[in-house]
Structure 1
Amino acid sequence: MYKRQDETYVGGKNKNRHAGKKVEGSQGRSAIDKKPVLGILQRDGEVRTFVVDETSSETLTNIMVENIAVGTDVITDSYNSYNGLQQTFEHTKIKHTEGNYITVGDRHTNSIEGFWSQLKRGIIGIYHNVSHKHLHRYCHEFGYRYNTRKTEDVLRFDSAIKLCDNKRLTYSQLIS
C-alpha cells in the first residue's frame, strides 16, 4: 500500500497583492504570510489534511507516525523535512528539482499534487480568500469532497448533513 504525501502553503500570491501588503521573500515554502498544510493520500483511497504551524522534520514525522502504519511505502518529494522517514517507513523520494515526477511504476506524488490543485482552485473560485484561523475547516471540506468523489451528489449531501448532527458553531464562536 502506498501513501503519497506532500505539503503546500496557502495564502495567495505575492504578485497579486497591493503594494503596501506585499511581503518580501514570500514565494514558495515560506510561512511568513502563508500557512503550511500537510496532506496524506492513500493510493486509490482517502486524503487527510493537517494545518501546521511549521514544517520541521519533527512536526511532519510525528503526524505521519500517528496516521500511517509502520512499514508502509511512503512517497514524498525531496523536501529536507522528510529525511529520516526511512527509519519508520519504506520511503521513496521524488526529486522534482531534477524534473523527475514519476519513478518506477506507480510511485509518484501526482495524486496529492492534484488534490492541492483542487483545494487551491476551489478556494480561489468559491471563497476567494480564507483566514488562517478557519483554514482547517476549508481543508476538511475539500478533503470530504475528494474522499466522496465517487458518491452521487444526493448521497454526499445526505452524508454531510448527518455528519453535522449535534454539532453547533455559533456566529460569536466563528468570529472570535
Structure 2
Amino acid sequence: MPLPTWFMAIYLIATSSKGVSAMVISRQLGISYKTAWFLCHRIRQLLADDDCTLKGIVEVDETYIGGKRRRDAKSKRDSDDDQPKGRGGSRKMMALTAVERDGKAKARKGRTHSERAIAGVVFYWLDRDAVLVTDELPAYRWIGKRFPAHLRVNHSRGEWSRRDPLAVACAHTNSVESFNATIKRAISGVRHWFSIKHADRYVHKATSRIVAGAQTIKIETLNVKG
C-alpha cells in the first residue's frame, strides 16, 4: 500500500473518539475490506503502550460486553467455548478495566471475575504504591490488602461516591465506569458485532485513544499477536 494510505488511516483512527470500523476505512480510502481490517489492527497495535504502569489513584472494575440475543440463542459465528457466560447467565464477554484518575487506562478480556483471575491482572498493571478504588465485589477484598490503601463503594446500597476526611481520596468508580460505557458505545454504535476470538484486539481497537478533557487515555491489551 502507498504510504499516504497508511497516513490517512492513522489520521482517521486517531481522530475518531469512539473508533472507526474497517468498513468505513475501506470505503473512504478506496481499499478492500480485508486490507482495511489488516491496516486497522496494525495501527491499533502501534498505538498500544505496553510498558505503562498505572500509578496514583487507580479505579478497577469489570464489565460485560455483548448485545442481547433473542430467546438466548447461541451465535452461529462463534463456537460455544468462545462465549463465556456473564453474570445472570447472559452470554457476554467480560472485560477487566483499570483507569488512572486523570490518566491512562488498561483493559483486557477475561472469562471469569474470580479473585485469582482479577488479581493476576491487577498486580501486573498497577504500581504497588497505587491507591486501589473498586466496588463491593468480594474478589477485591484480598487484592486490596496488597496496596497501601483500598477504597470501596457499595453500589448495592445505593452508594456511588463517598468523601471520608481520613481517606487519601474520594471513593468512587465514576472514571472507570465512564470508560466502560465508552467501550460499549463504540462496539454497539460503530461495529455492531465482534468475534470474541479477537476480543482483545477489538476492545483495544474500540478505545485505543480516548480524549477526556486535555488528557489522552490509551488502552493496553495482553497477548495480542499479529
Q: TM-score range by the shorter chain?
A: 0.7 to 0.9
Matched residue, 1:4? 59
Q: TM-score, normalised by structure 1?
A: 0.74
**1:140 is paired with a residue of what secondary structure?**
helix
Name the residue aligned to 1:61: 119
Q: CA RMSD in A?
A: 2.8
Q: Name the % identity.
A: 28
Alpha-carbon distance in structure 2 between the residues aligned to 1:101 and 1:61: 23
Alpha-carbon offset, residue 19 of structure 1: 2.9
Q: CA deviation at 1:142?
A: 3.2
1:96-135 aligned at under 5 Å gives the runs 96-104=155-163, 106-135=170-199
| Gaps in structure 1 of 5+ consecutive residues | 153-167, 170-176
Unpaired stretches in structure 2, ≥5 consecutive residues: 1-55, 75-83, 164-168, 217-224
- CA displacement at 1:33 relative to structure 2: 1.6
Q: For 2:190 and 2:88, how far apart are their aligned partners in 1?
A: 24
Moved more, 140-149 or 48-57: 140-149
- TM-score (normalizing by structure 2): 0.59
| Structure 1 segments of 4+ aligned residues over 2 angstroms from their partners | 17-20, 26-32, 147-152
Alignment length, in residue pairs? Answer: 149
Q: Larger Rg: 1 or 2?
A: 2
Judge conservation of contact 2:86–2:93 (CA < 8 Å) in 1. no
Structure 2 distance, partners of 1:73, 1:87, is 11
Tell me whether 1:80 sits opposite 2:138 in the alignment.
Answer: yes
8 Å contact from structure 2 (residues 133, 151) kept in 1: yes
In structure 1, C-alpha distance between the alignment counterparts of 2:198 and 2:95, rounded to whole Å: 12
Equivalent residue of 1:144, what SS? Answer: coil
Residue among 87, 93, 103 paired with 2:152: 93
Mapped partners of 2:85, 2:112: distance in 1: 15
Q: What secondary structure is seen at the aligned counterpart in 2 of 1:116?
A: helix
CA contact (8 A) 2:93 2:196 kept: yes
Equivalent residue, structure 2, for 1:51:
109
The structure whose RCO (Cα within 8 Å, separation 6+) is larger is: 2
* Aligned-residue offset at 1:49: 0.2
